[in-house]
Each structure stands twice: as structure tokens, then as C-alpha cells.
Amino acid sequence: MEDESTRERLITAALKLFGEKGYQSTSVADVQRESDCHSGSFYHFFPTKQDLLLAVLERYRTGIVPMLIEPAWVDVRDPIERIFALLARYRLLLVMTHCGYGCPIGSLALELHEPDPVVRQLLASNFSGWIDQVENCLIDARKVLGRDLDTRRTASFVLTVMEGAVMQARTYRDLRPFDAAVATLRDHFNMLQRAAARTELV
């Protein structure tokens, strides 16, 4: 009888392979080999490859806080610095992979040009979960960034900076585009803080 640990092995294998090879280039046989599971086990849990993709996207969505946010924010209290600590986490992943790392959700979103609605919704949900975490930081930092700050739009902008910076670093195999993008984002936040401070003085 198939158990939950087999299902977990299949999802873990797919997480790795989709990140390394992409969804389209990863075959069911690849996942079976990586997970050391036979075809009967695969199709018991996942009738189609897309069912496996949905499970992977669910794993990312539920794992964003324990897998990404919490490790990035250990001992970081300042809400603005939390944003940059999160970006530093991506930089570390780039360093560890010699700039081979790509944001898994961003990579899948680019690869799956016309995904089925359920896939698209899960991709969007993953992006929204990331934005939610950054927006919470911006809400906490409103006093220094300005009371009128559109926190949702700004959090979405931070995601855009991260995705673009990772993509360029991966393409050029060079950290400098990533560092330049993050430095420019830092300049933007510094500008917001200066403007908010001037408003407080008026």
C-alpha cells in the first residue's frame, strides 16, 4: 500500500527537477528515477504530470514562510531591513549556485506561457503570498516611509525588482546586475524616508 512518504518523495524530486530543468523538460520517468519510485506509485498519487505540478505549487505556497521568510528574518527586527534580508536570501542562493539559481515560481510562470486556469491561479497565489509578506513590512514601516505610501503597489514593485534581478544575474552569470537592482531599490526607500521626514517637519 502506498504511503504518504512516497508522495512526499515524488513532490521533493519534482521540486528539484523543475528548478533545475524546468517543467517541460522534466519527464515522469525523471521524477521516478530521482524519487526512486516506480510508475505505479507515481500514478497512484498523480494521475497526470500536471497533478504533480499542482502539488509542487501548493508546496511552495504553504512553504513560503517556513522555507523562505523565517530563515531570512531571523534576528531582523526592522521592517525595511527585513525586505532587504529577504533579497539577501536570494543573493545567497545565487552565490551558492554560481548564479544558476532562478526563482522557481518566476521560472515556471515564464515557462508556462498559457497555463491552465488552475495552474495560473496557483502561480498567482504564490506571487500574492510573497507580496503579502513584503506588504506587511511596508505597513509596519509606514511611519518612516510616509503615511500615504501605497503599500500593495510598492510590495509588487519589490517583487518585480527581485524577479528581474535574479533573471539578469542568471543570464549574465554575474551578481552585479542583482546588486545594482537592489542598490537602486535601497535608494528608492531612502528617498521615501527623506520625503517622509520632511513632511513630518512641516
| pLDDT confidence bin for 1, thresholds 50/70/90 | very low
| pLDDT confidence bin for 185, thresholds 50/70/90 | very high
* Distance in angstroms (rounded) separating the CA atoms of residues 104 and 194: 35
Residue 202 has pLDDT above 80, yes or no: no
- Domain 54-201: CATH superfamily is Tetracycline Repressor, domain 2 (1.10.357.10)
| pLDDT confidence bin for 20, thresholds 50/70/90 | confident
Q: Do domains 1-47 and 54-201 have the same CATH topology?
A: no
pLDDT, residue 19, reads 85
> Where does residue 183 rank: exposed (0-12), middle (13-18), buried (19+ CB within 10 A)?
exposed
The cell numbers describing 110, all together, are 515564464
Average pLDDT, the chain: 93
> What's the pLDDT tens digit per position in 90-129?
999 999 999 999 899 999 999 987 778 999 999 999 999 9
> What's the pLDDT tens digit per position in 128-172?
999 999 999 999 999 999 999 999 999 999 999 999 999 999 999
Was domain 1-47 assigned CATH 3.40.640.10? Answer: no
> What's the pLDDT tens digit per position in 166-182?
999 999 999 999 999 99
The per-residue DSSP string of 39-83 comes to HHHHHHH-SSHHHHHHHHHHHHHHHIIIIIIHHHTTT--SHHHHH
Collapsing DSSP to helix, strand or coil, 27 comes out as: coil
* Distance in angstroms (rounded) separating the CA atoms of residues 197 and 202: 9
Q: Where are the domains of the chain?
A: 1-47, 54-201
pTM of the model: 0.90
